[in-house]
Structure 1
Amino acid sequence: MFRTSERAAGPACRAARPATAVLLTLALLAATACGVTQRQTLRVFADSSLTGVLGTLARTFEASHPDVAIAFHFGGGPALARRITQGEAADVLVAAPDATSLVVGATPRVFARDRMEIAVPRGNPAHVAALSDLAAPGVRVVLCVPAIPCGASADRALAAAGVTPGPVVRTMDASAALAKVRRGDADAALVGRTDIRAAAGAVDGVDLPASAGAAGEYAIASVPKSENHVPAREFVDLVLSDQGRRILADAGFSPA
């Protein structure tokens, strides 16, 4: 078939093909000379509470790895781990240690801790000043689901304080909880202080005593089945490095 078509095309078309090939070659050479290269994509699955600080870490990493582009997939840790174990391609997982351990063969390293705070709408119209106020009549409380760090930590803090809020709305992550507070659909949410800080003034924060406990630990691990072993390991190394610790501290986390 190919040879028949070539004969039908005639000498003029056959003569044009080398010229076309030359032009394509010149275009490729020009693209290479201008620095147009194929960037490797590093797929990082991460807990939504880390959106801000991981964005800073990604920019730092890409500045020293111009051939790598980081693509984030944010969500709840357990759900992300399930997606990976079910075969979705990923290179790095950043979540609570329990969720990270669900990825068979992964060796998680705890790298950051967060503290718990109460998020309230601007001006704190319900006058929430302590955990005990979450049980006051009419106070609408939103918590994360227990399967993720902010939800599990909130439940522990409330149990330790002997506080049982009224009807509670559960959200899949801290961002959704904060959105309800910001819109005035809730009077208070128990989330990490870094979540409130990342809200950039859209909500107010109420400090809790150290006895209220941590809002959770975060661990990082490269995914054993990753096809991008080298950049995955180097990104993990950045997060665990002194530079990474400084970035975490600037975002309000306590580096581990």
Structure 2
Amino acid sequence: MRTVETTVARYLDAVDTALPGFVEMLYLTGSVALGAYQPGHSDIDTVIVTSRRPTSGDLAALAAVHADMPPEPHLDGVYLDRGTFFQQPADRRVVPFVVDGRFRADEPCGDLHPVSWLLLTRYGQAVRGPAVSDLGLTVDHDEVRRFNLDNLTTYWQPLAAGARAVVGAVPDDVPAEATRVGAEGVAWCVLGPARLHFTLAHGDVVAKTGVAGYLAEILPAYGPLADRALRWRRGEPVALTAADVRAAADSVDAVVADALRRWG
């Protein structure tokens, strides 16, 4: 965690120098908050609360700050002025945000959704500002349910179909890295939808490192693949193949079908 502390401290020093008094609060979310940060794999996810709505000059200064940050780990996050923050927007509106270390100010922010607020409310860690428990944030579990079901059917199912089409008639033993899906795509498909299923089932958030066991519980046939995908993410020498791409796509469909049966 020393890298996380160092990176966040460097960011705060830089932004306070460029824009004194602008950043009022900063909260860690994502894998850091969930205790699942993996050096070399994880980004540092944040929610940053500002003292005012940013001007064009503020945006230019923020872009310069983030351009000067180290390439790894990325310090990602969303910027919300104080008034907007306490409205808890979950509509993916256009606000300044950082993804993969790149600052953006004129695009919809994909991280403004109900699960992000659930994660912040349950696990967010204050670096600057009051403890999350003192902020008076709330969670609308019906909104979380609707969002997750919609995400499963509009994002994950089409993604699985696309992955299946990519491998087509590719022989099973061809390495996943030789396809456009890649090993990263296998891990993404196997572990991602199961996290949404976990939230639907428990009203809570689980890290990728903990979801393999959950998938093995609800759909045992995909447990071994989830374990291999997780070990690949940890950097172990696990060979993922075109057959795993197909199995990952099948696992997405199975998770979606089970979620719709239970909560749709």
Same fold (TM over 0.5): no
More strand per residue: 1
Structure ID, larger Rg: 1
| More RCO (CA 8 Å, sep 6+) | 1
TM-score (norm 1): 0.28
